[in-house]
Amino acid sequence: MGTAITTVLCDLDGTLIDSRRDIALAFQYALRRVAGGALPEEAAIAQHIGKALEHMARALGYHFSPTQLTTFLDTYRHHYAASGTPHTRPYPGVTTTLQALSFLTFGVVTTKAQEQAEALLRQLQLRAFFRHVQGWVPGLQLKPAPDSVVAALTALHCAPQQALMVGDTAADVLAGKAAGLKTCAVTYGFGALEDLRRCAPDYVIDTFGDLAAVLRTANGPRHTGGG
C-alpha cells in the first residue's frame, strides 16, 4: 500500500461553498462601472469562477487598459466585501463531512484574496476546520500553477504524497498534479465535467460527502477510523 493521505487541501468557491450569485453580482457591478453596455449573465460568469478576476473578464470578452483593470479590480473587491455575501452557503454535506473527518488535516487553497477567503470562512463558520488557508497574496502565481498548493503544503509541513487536492475546476486538478498530489474533482461546482475528466483526476465525486469514501479507498480502513 502507498503512503496514507493525512492532509486534504480544498478549493473554496465551487468546492466548499456555493458563491456563484454573490461573485456574479459583484462582477456585474464592477463591469457596469468600467465598461457599461450589456452585462454577461450569471451562468456565463459562473463558468469562469476560479480564475483570476482579470482572466475571468478576458474570457468574457473584456480587454481593459491597466487603469481600467485597476478600477475594475478595486470596484469588484470593495463591492464583494461590502455586500456581506448574503447568497453564499456551504454546499450540502460540507460541514458534517469536515466534522466526521476532523482527524485529518484540512487546508484551503483558493484564488480569492487572503483576507477575503479568511473572512468568508469565518462568516460561514467553517474557519475552525482548516489548519491553514492559502489565499492569493501579491506575487503568488495562481492555479493551475502549483505555487499556492506548494505554499499550503509548506505551511502544513506536509509531503505532497501525503496530500489530496480537492477542487471543481481543471485548474485545481492541474495545480494538484503539478505539485505532486493525488487529486479529486467534484462535479457539482463551476467547472465543466469534460474539462475535469480531460485532466484525469485520481478520483471524481458528485457530493462533498463522497470524500469520506474516497479517503477510505485511498488509505484503507486502517487510516480512516474504520466504518
The CATH number of whichever domain residue 165 belongs to comes to 3.40.50.1000
Look at residue 1 and give its three-state secondary structure: coil
What is the model's pLDDT at position 1?
47
Residues 66 and 37 grouped into a single domain: yes
Record the cell numbers describing residue 127, joined without a space.
474557519
Amino acid at 121: L
Range of the domain at 47: 20-83
What is the model's pLDDT at position 222?
53
- DSSP assignment of 58-123 equals HHTT----HHHHHHHHHHHHHHHHHHT-TT-EEPTTHHHHHHHTTTSEEEEEEEEEHHHHHHHHHH
| 2 falls within a domain | no
Q: Which of 54, 83, 112 marks a domain boundary? A: 83
Residues 109 and 203 grouped into a single domain: yes
Name residues of the chain where pLDDT drops below 70.
1-2, 221-227
What is the model's pLDDT at position 57?
96
Residues 79 and 151 grouped into a single domain: no
Number of domains in the chain: 2
| 52 falls within a domain | yes
Global confidence as pTM: 0.93
Q: Is the dihedral of CA 61, 35, 41, 52 positive or negative?
A: positive
Among candidate residues 159, 148, 145, 138, the one with its CA nearest the CA of residue 109: 148
Distance separating alpha carbons of residues 32 and 184, to the nearest angstrom: 36
| 65 falls within a domain | yes
Amino acid at 112: K
Residues 148 and 119 grouped into a single domain: yes
| 40 falls within a domain | yes
What is the model's pLDDT at position 185?
98
Q: CA angle, 64 as apex, 58 and 68 as ends, to 5°?
A: 135
Q: Give the CATH number for residue 69.
A: 1.10.150
